[in-house]
Amino acid sequence: MKNYIDFAADAFWNTLKGLWVTLKVLFLPAITVQYPTEKIVPYPRFRGMLAYDAEACIVCGMCVRACPSKCIALAKAAPAPAPVPVEGQPAAPAAKPKIAWYTLDYGRCNFCGLCEESCPTKPKKALWHSLDYEAVFSTRAEMVRSWKRGDDLWGTARNTAEGQLVPVTDQIHIQSVPVRK
Amino acid sequence: MTEEILQPDISGPVFNHANGRLLMPETRYWPTDMWKSPWSLPTYRRGAAVLAGLITGGAAAAWFLGEIGPRLAPVYSFIEAYALAYGVPAVLIQIFWTFIKGGILLLAPLVNALFAVWWERKISAHIQSRMGPMYVGWWHGVLQTVADGIKLFLKEDIVPDCADKIVHWLAPVVVVIPAILVFAPVPFGNELVFADIDIGTVYVFAVGGVSVMGIIMAGWSSGNKFSLLGGLRSAAQLVSYELPRTFAVLPVVMLAGTLNIAEIAGFQAGYWGGIIPRWFIFYPVVGQVAFIVFLIASVAETNRVPFDIPEAESELVAGFNTEYSGMKFALFFLSEFAYVLLSCLLMAAVFFGGGAAPLPFLEFLPSWAWFLSKVLILMFCFLWFRWTFPRFRVDRLMDFNWKFLLPVSLLNIAAGGILIWLLS
């Protein structure tokens, strides 16, 4: 009889504890993010889509060597003619090497961040992971982003319809998305 | 490595820690971070304000409307005088008036289903930290149920090949008609009762029991093993839990000396020492035990979690309503929520004093408002249980009923007798 009453009292008490847990959560704000209309800004070290600055790049090829999935390729532009040395003045520094083209295949990229880590330019890196996590590709050709000098940071991709290289416009800047109301 | 902070260029792609720091003033990280201080969120404060405003506004509207029951009497006398002037027989007027009252009563389960389904979805969502329906309707998906109802109306009505066609068609009717009839003797406030019959309590339990028949018919006629199992489980469960449910009300009936639900509610008017309401729930031990037994048995009677073995989703697909689609399925759903409303109305009337105010100075609100708020709080308990407890196993369900609830309710009747003897 005592066991019976103890069991019933214990069950009742545990029932109340369970109810208290759900009641607490009920009055906390929902953690759901209604994605298309509101978006999370990820942590600062989040590795999102790669951005590349053709002006800052010194064409050292460190990223190509660092990449474990071999998704980066680049070519150096023909060097500018060396300036004619003037008598009595120190020789002008050699012109910084410029990029001819730079491609990055998102079909192979595994977002490890080694290319960004190995990039030696100062004070800003020429290749880095942005916080943007929204990427949609409809063909494999589209997954290859390519940059030339003068392109913006998202580069260009081969358009599905015309097969032309067009600037990437659907890459949203996640930081400029309005925060949740 | 210089610790130079570079201003982020917001017009371009986002910079990370290697290219300047993220300096957005309202940067959010992971959503659970907001649990640390929910009151710092404007949306949370606004939600609390809306909730307070709804309660205050509802109370103000109730105070403005006042008692509804006495206001209907002039309407009736006006219709009667008008009809008599045109030579309509008095019997016809009575029949007509009964139909009008029946129409109004029919609204109770229908409106309740519309509201309760939405409420259930919202509460289930918030207990799981989701949001639930948010898009349909102008505010937090309030019209979601209407949209679902329209969808169910327009859906194809599928009858399985191996089903017993007539019984399959009849089962939802048998379930839903008692679910509406059962509201006849239940009060919704002072003088707000369709049929003020003296055996109201017995009537409610008797008519409510007929729905079991419909569920068994649905299970049997579907020609599906899951439906059949669901129907049989339902029969076992509902018949068993009828007993403690009825026995739990008996002490109240003994104390009040009447079976009329409106009179039982009226019996609990007044206050002990001017503060504690004379509701049955506040009678020492007997009241609380009776209420808990009645609550548990009511949850079981309405086939809801944790007693939802007739339609256990993970075991029986959907139990007895597996083979039902479209409007027939909607009728089963409607009857389930009608029975939830009925249980809440009964509990409010029998254990919580019906339309009585909890404190003397709150009596300025009409009785139907108190009734409604008690019903809503009790209905919240039903939804709360549903999203807290896991489902019973079938044998433990029966154990719980026959080895715990039934003896406790029987002992409680004896205790109620002793209490009456002490009080007299």
Residue listed under structure tokens 């439906």: B227
* Cα gap B280→B289, rounded to integer Å: 11
CA nearest A181 in B: which residue? B43
Mean per-residue pLDDT, B41-65: 87
**Of residues B4, B28, B387, nearest to A22 (C-beta):** B387
A22–B129 C-beta distance less than 8 A: no
List the alpha helices (DSSP H) in B257-285.
Answer: 261-267
CA separation for the pair B258, B196 (Å, rounded): 12
CA distance B255 to B268: 10
Residue B150: both structure tokens together = 């329209």
B397 within some domain: yes
Place of tokens 């509804």: B68
Q: Which residues of A are less than 8 Å from B134 in CB distance?
A: 34
Q: What is the DSSP string of A127-146?
A: EEE-S------SSTGGGEEE
Q: Which residues of B touch A130 (CB under 8 A)?
A: 13-16
- Find out if CATH 3.20.20.70 is the number for domain A42-77+95-181: no
Q: What is the structure's pLDDT at B30?
A: 61
From A162's Cα to the closest Cα of chain B, the distance in A is 26
- Chain A residues close to B4, C-beta within 8 Å: 123
In whole angstroms, what is the distance from residue B398 CA to residue A129 CA? 60
Cα separation, B108 vs B112, whole angstroms: 6
Q: How many residues does this entry show for chain A?
A: 181
Single-letter amino acid, residue B256? A
Is the pLDDT reported for residue B365 higher than 50?
yes
Single-letter code of the amino acid located at A11: A
Which residues in chain B are closer than 8 Å to A175, comparing Cβ atoms? 8, 10, 14, 22, 24
- By C-alpha distance, the chain A residue nearest B47 is A29
Region for residue B247 given its phi and psi (left: phi exceeds 0; alpha: psi -120 to 50; beta: otherwise): alpha
Strands A127-129 vs A99-105: parallel, antiparallel or unpaired:
unpaired
Chain centroid to Cα A12, Å, comes to 52
pLDDT at B42: 77
**∠ at Cα B380 (B374, B384), nearest 5°?**
145
User: Is the pLDDT assigned to residue B14 strictly greater than 90?
Assistant: no
Number of domains in chain B: 1
Residue B295 lies in a domain: yes
Over residues B215-221, the mean pLDDT reads 87
Q: Contacts of residue A30 in chain B, CB cutoff 8 Å? A: 125-126, 129-131
Q: How far apart are CA B381 and CA A127, in angstroms?
A: 56
Task: Look up residue A52 and give its DSSP letter.
Answer: E
Which conformational region is residue B257 in: left (phi greater than 0), alpha (psi within -120 to 50 degrees), or beta?
Answer: left
Residues of A in contact with B289 (CB under 8 A): none
The answer to whether the beta carbons of residues A127 and A153 sit under 8 Å apart is no
Residue B327 domain flag? yes
* Domain locations along chain A: 42-77+95-181
In a domain, B205, yes or no: yes
Instruction: Note the pTM of the prediction, 2 decimals.
Output: 0.80
Q: Please give the pLDDT value at position B18.
A: 42
Backbone angles phi and psi of A72, in degrees to 5: -105, 140
Please answer whether residues B159 and B172 qualify as being in contact, where contact means their C-beta atoms are separated by less than 8 angstroms.
no
Q: What is the DSSP string of B186-197?
A: --SSTT--S---
Tokens representing A76?
């150096």
Based on C-alpha coordinates, what's the Rg of chain B? 26
The phi and psi torsions of B39 (rounded to 5 degrees) equal -70, -10
- A23 with B384: Cβ contact below 8 A: yes
Query: What's the pLDDT band for B403 if we cut at 50, 70, 90?
Result: confident
User: Is residue B45 in a domain?
Assistant: no
Which positions in chain B touch A129 (Cβ < 8 Å)?
Answer: 16
Q: In the prediction, which pLDDT does A116 show?
A: 86
Q: Kindly indicate the confidence band of residue B8, based on its pLDDT and cuts at 50, 70 and 90.
A: very low
Query: What is residue B23's three-state secondary structure?
Result: coil
Chain B residues within an 8 Å CB radius of A40: 28-31
B329 has pLDDT over 70 = yes
* Distance of alpha carbon B403 from alpha carbon B401, whole angstroms: 6
CA–CA dist B251, B418 (Å, integer): 10
**B99 CA to centre of own chain:** 25
Average pLDDT over residues B176-204: 86
Q: Which of A25, A43, A180 sits opposite B129 (nearest CB)?
A: A25
Higher pLDDT, B188 or A13: A13
Q: Across the interface, do B29 and A8 touch by the CB < 8 Å criterion?
A: no
Q: Please answer yes or no on whether A173 and B13 come within 8 Å at the CB atom.
A: yes
User: According to the model, what pLDDT value does residue B229 have?
Assistant: 85
| Cα four-point dihedral sign A133, A135, A140, A146 | negative
Residues of chain A with pLDDT under 70: 35-40, 43-44, 82-83, 92-94, 170-181
Q: How confident is the model at residue A36, as a pLDDT?
A: 63
The alpha-carbon gap from B175 to the nearest alpha carbon of chain A, in Å, equals 31
Instruction: Let me know if B269 is exposed, middle or buried by CB neighbors in 10 A (0-12, 13-18, 19+).
Output: middle
> Pick from B27, B35, B385: which is nearest to A28 by CB?
B35
- Asked whether residue B14 is domain-assigned, the answer is no
Q: Do A123 and B4 touch (CB under 8 A)?
A: yes
pLDDT score of B9: 43
Residue B264 lies in a domain: yes
Classify each residue of A82-115 as buried b or exposed e, where b means 16 or more C-beta atoms within 10 Å of its C-beta.
Answer: eeeeeeeeeeeeeeeebbeebbbbbeebeeebeb
Looking at residues B240-267, what average pLDDT do you find? 88
pLDDT tier at B19 (50, 70, 90 boundaries)?
very low
Inter-residue contact A132 to A113 (CB < 8 Å): no
Say which residue, B414 or A126, is predicted with more confidence.
Answer: B414
Interface touch B384/A19, C-beta < 8 Å: yes
Banded pLDDT at B104 (limits 50, 70, 90): confident
The predicted model gives B343-348 an average pLDDT of: 91
Task: Say yes or no for a CB contact (<8 Å) between A22 and B18.
Answer: no
Structural domain of B198: 157-423
With beta carbons under 8 A apart, name residues in chain A contacting B46: none
- pLDDT beyond 60 at B143: yes
At A56 the pLDDT is 83
Gyration radius from chain A CA atoms: 27
Q: What is the mean pLDDT of chain B?
A: 83
% chain B with pLDDT above 90: 12
Tell me how far CA of residue A90 lies from CA of A8, A83, A84, A109, in angstroms.
Answer: 95, 12, 12, 45
CB-closest option in A26, A51, A153 to B127? A26
Pairwise CA distance, residues B367 & B347, whole Å:
15
User: Which residue in the set A28, A43, A128 is minimally distant from B38, CB to CB?
Assistant: A28
**Omega of the bond prior to B306 within 30 degrees of 0, cis?**
yes
Q: Span B163-175, mean pLDDT?
A: 88
To the nearest whole Å, the CA of A87 is away from the closest chain B CA by 38
Rounded Cα distance, A38 and B296, in Å? 42
Give the position of tokens 């569920």.
B215
Q: Which of A170, A171, A140 is nearest to A158 (CA)?
A: A140
Q: What pLDDT is attached to residue B371?
A: 87
Return the pLDDT at B6. Answer: 40
The alpha carbon of residue A81 is apart from the nearest alpha carbon of chain B, in Å, by 32
Q: Which of A10, A17, A28, A116 best tests the B interface by mutation, with the highest count of B CBs <10 A?
A: A28
- Interface ipTM: 0.76
- Chain A residues touching B126 at Cβ < 8 A: 25-27, 30
Considering the domain boundaries, does residue B342 fall inside one? yes
Q: Which helix (H) or strand (E) holds B415?
A: helix B406-423
Q: How many CB atoms lie under 10 A from the CB of residue B345?
A: 27
Q: Which residue has the higher pLDDT, B227 or A40?
A: B227
- Asked whether the beta carbons of B349 and B186 are under 8 A apart, the reply is yes
